[in-house]
């Protein structure tokens, strides 16, 4: 095939599973459900007597669709591209790919297309839904084409960034975490530069609109804005140019960064022993030359004896009673440079705090604590979830999990060791939102009662996110599927809650005409949640969690909007606590079945 063997394989094999078609149909169906929910929020069951009402609804609906699609693209495109490389590195097949006759360009372009194929297929699936807005009015065909171009360019640039990060880092968690942080920091950094340099422009467009996809989309969605077409073209051009530069760097550094620390240990030790043996021979040559040919001809340098002697002379660390927990706490199980991820998160934390304190006269000042804490909390939950799912998938891909299954480690030690290890390795991401919440309570930005509820609920959600990652890794033997299900569940759960809150506020809290559409929207979420969490290992508890979690989360949103914090706290604590136990108890009790001692090999 002219496109190359990597692209040909992806195009041939990806559509085979039934979930490929189910995902596309469900994604398009989600937009139709959102369309009906938005109609009930804005119009309801009233007779249409205003000529411009449908046109106004079409404009609002199109804006809503655009934001949802852009957020999905910026989240899944970089992670999908990063996973294609990280998965190969964990399975130690990426080195084999480098040994083939494929050129560096074919490998990079092939992996990029393989990672973005599913995401861009979803974009093409919902494109007709965008054009339906033309029938309602309030939107022009030029706006639809510009939005699709901006979204595709943003996904292309994000996927190129994710691919570059995955080539640079050797561990899956590092690749995923750095990719998410890089996307968030890029957008936040553009906003910060525009704040301090408001007059900056590129080719007639402001710096913010030329590089920030949300600002570029905003300029297109405003019909009164002059030069919207110019802004869309500038952003598409800059994003495409940035993507090409990132891909050029990836091609240049492909064989410099790889193979790296992900090599098999025996290979690295063998190279080290060969170097040491050669050094020993070089050092011994002058002495052997003086001793005579008889001695030099009988030289024998053992390749491994000096290595074993040097290791035997060292002091071995003594593990704890729970070796899994000791490994998580005392070793670099997830990479040699975790400070890079933590430093990037601290930088995001600093930008969030700066946003909170540099906009004291903002018209939305009452919402500034929420606008600061919610993005930080969602980012922390995503990173904790990524750590949880990769803590198990990485061991399965490297074969270490098979060794653990034949040891005398108890299920409780394994599960709790992994769970506490995930929380320990992401402690900075957990502590930052908690400390900021406490500081807001001290300074009076929020009340002490609200702060207490936030701290307890966030701590529970952190445990829920970590356990969801472990649950997905246990349920799905394929690492890419496990990562996609785990991160996708957290992402859509958080985004679904925000969408519900937005639609309730948009409809001026008129629940009587919104209830039916919300029930359908939430019911679809329940089906999707059960498909992600309980389709492989169904249980009554998981089914109950999938049924109740979206509905009770909807109740929590209503309670918070109605300033009923105690009700929202009690319900959220109960439902997510039950969800945590529903995943934790089977993982400990049915350890042999859940981890697949008997059927993991069959797939």
| Mean pLDDT on 319-331 | 82
Contacts of 551 (CB under 8 A, 6+ apart): 522, 526
For residue 288, the model assigns a pLDDT of 40
pLDDT digits (tens, 9 = 90+) for 506-553: 665 555 566 666 777 777 778 888 887 877 777 788 888 888 888 888
Q: Round to whole Å and give the CA distance between 190 and 193.
A: 5
pLDDT digits (tens, 9 = 90+) for 84-140: 998 888 888 888 888 888 899 999 999 999 889 889 999 999 899 888 888 887 788
DSSP letter for each residue of 285-304: HHHHHHH-HHHHHT----SS
Q: Round to whole Å and give the CA distance between 224 and 221.
A: 9
Q: Round to whole Å and give the CA distance between 244 and 163.
A: 12
Helix (H, G, I), strand (E, B) or coil at 450: helix
pLDDT band at residue 315, thresholds of 50, 70 and 90?
low
pLDDT digits (tens, 9 = 90+) for 423-462: 998 999 999 999 999 999 999 888 899 999 999 999 999 9
Q: Kindly report the backbone phi and psi dihedral angles of residue 206, in degrees, each rounded to the nearest multiple of 5, phi listed first.
A: -65, 155
Q: What is the mean pLDDT of the chain?
A: 80
| Mean pLDDT on 27-54 | 76
Cβ atoms 140, 62 nearer than 8 A:
no
Mean pLDDT is lowest, of 134-138, 254-258, 298-302, for 298-302
Helix (H, G, I), strand (E, B) or coil at 201: strand
Q: Round to whole Å and give the CA distance between 457 and 570.
A: 9
| Mean pLDDT on 383-412 | 84
pLDDT at residue 191 tops 50: yes
Q: Round to whole Å and give the CA distance between 231 and 219.
A: 7
pLDDT digits (tens, 9 = 90+) for 264-276: 444 444 444 443 3
pLDDT at residue 469 tops 80: yes
For residue 516, the model assigns a pLDDT of 67
For residue 427, the model assigns a pLDDT of 92
pLDDT band at residue 329, thresholds of 50, 70 and 90?
confident
pLDDT at residue 316 tops 60: yes
For residue 363, the model assigns a pLDDT of 47
| Mean pLDDT on 478-505 | 84
Which secondary-structure segment (H or E) carries 176?
helix 172-196
pLDDT at residue 592 tops 80: no
Q: Round to whole Å and give the CA distance between 18 and 253.
A: 37
Cβ atoms 568, 556 nearer than 8 A:
yes
Mean pLDDT is lowest, of 130-134, 162-166, 238-242, 245-249, for 130-134
For residue 364, the model assigns a pLDDT of 53
Nearest to 549 by CA among 567, 583, 574: 574
Q: In the chain, what's the furthest Cα-to-Cα distance?
A: 110
Output the six-digit token pair for 210. Answer: 């030329």
For residue 3, the model assigns a pLDDT of 64
DSSP letter for each residue of 560-583: HHTT-HHHHHHHHHHHHHHHHHHH
Q: Round to whole Å and give the CA distance between 59 and 134.
A: 9
pLDDT at residue 192 tops 90: no
């Amino acid at each position: 095939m002219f496109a190359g063997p990597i692209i040909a394989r992806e195009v041939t094999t990806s559509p085979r599973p039934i979930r490929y078609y189910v995902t596309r149909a469900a994604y398009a169906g989600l937009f139709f459900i959102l369309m009906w929910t938005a109609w009930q929020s804005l119009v309801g069951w009233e007779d249409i007597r205003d000529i411009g009402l449908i046109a106004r609804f079409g404009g609002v609906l199109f804006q809503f669709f655009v934001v949802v699609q852009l957020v999905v693209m910026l989240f899944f495109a970089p992670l999908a591209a990063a996973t294609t490389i990280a998965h190969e590195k964990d399975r130690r097949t990426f080195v084999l790919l480098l040994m083939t006759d494929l050129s560096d360009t074919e490998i990079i372009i092939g992996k990029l297309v393989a990672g973005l194929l599913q995401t861009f297929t979803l974009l093409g699936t919902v494109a007709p839904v965008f054009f339906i807005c033309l029938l309602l009015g309030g939107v022009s065909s030029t706006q639809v084409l510009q939005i699709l171009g901006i979204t595709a360019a943003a996904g292309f640039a994000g996927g190129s960034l994710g691919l570059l990060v995955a080539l640079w880092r050797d561990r899956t968690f590092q690749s995923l975490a750095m990719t998410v942080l890089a996307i968030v920091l890029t957008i936040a950094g553009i906003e910060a530069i525009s704040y301090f340099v408001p007059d900056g422009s590129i080719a007639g467009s402001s710096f913010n609109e030329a590089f920030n996809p949300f600002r570029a989309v905003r300029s297109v969605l405003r019909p009164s804005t002059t030069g919207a077409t110019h802004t869309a073209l500038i952003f598409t051009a800059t994003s495409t140019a940035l993507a090409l530069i990132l891909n050029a760097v990836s091609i240049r550094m492909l064989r410099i960064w790889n193979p790296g620390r992900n090599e098999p240990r025996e290979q690295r030790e063998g190279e080290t022993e060969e170097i040491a043996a050669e050094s020993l021979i070089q050092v011994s040559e002058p002495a052997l030359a003086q001793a005579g040919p008889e001695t030099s001809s009988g030289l024998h340098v053992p390749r491994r004896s000096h290595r074993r002697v040097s290791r035997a002379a060292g002091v071995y660390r003594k593990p704890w009673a729970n070796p899994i927990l000791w490994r998580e706490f005392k070793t670099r199980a997830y990479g040699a440079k975790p400070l890079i991820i933590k430093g990037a998160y601290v930088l995001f934390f600093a930008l969030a705090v700066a946003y909170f304190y540099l906009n004291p006269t903002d018209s939305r000042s009452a919402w500034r604590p929420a606008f600061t804490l919610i993005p930080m909390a969602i980012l922390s939950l995503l990173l904790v979830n990524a750590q949880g799912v990769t803590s198990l998938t990485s061991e399965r891909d490297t074969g270490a999990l098979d060794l653990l299954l034949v040891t005398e480690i108890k299920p409780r030690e394994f599960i709790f060791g992994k769970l506490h290890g995930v929380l320990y390795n992401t402690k900075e991401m957990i502590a930052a939102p908690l400390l900021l919440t406490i500081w807001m309570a001290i300074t009076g930005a929020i009340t002490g009662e609200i702060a207490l509820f936030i701290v307890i609920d966030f701590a529970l959600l952190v445990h829920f996110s970590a356990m969801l990652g472990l649950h997905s890794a246990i349920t799905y033997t394929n690492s890419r599927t496990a990562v996609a299900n785990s991160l996708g569940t957290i992402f859509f759960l958080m985004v679904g809650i925000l969408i519900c809150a937005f639609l309730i506020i948009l409809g001026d809290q008129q629940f009587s005409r919104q209830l039916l559409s919300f029930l359908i929207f939430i019911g679809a979420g329940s089906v999707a949640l059960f498909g992600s969490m309980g389709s492989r290992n169904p249980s009554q508890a998981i089914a109950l969690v999938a049924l109740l979690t979206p509905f009770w989360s909807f109740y929590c949103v209503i309670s918070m909007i109605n300033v009923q914090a105690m009700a929202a706290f009690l319900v959220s604590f109960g439902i997510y606590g039950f969800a945590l136990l529903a995943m934790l108890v089977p993982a400990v009790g049915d350890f042999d079945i859940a981890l697949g001692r008997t059927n993991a090999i069959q797939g």
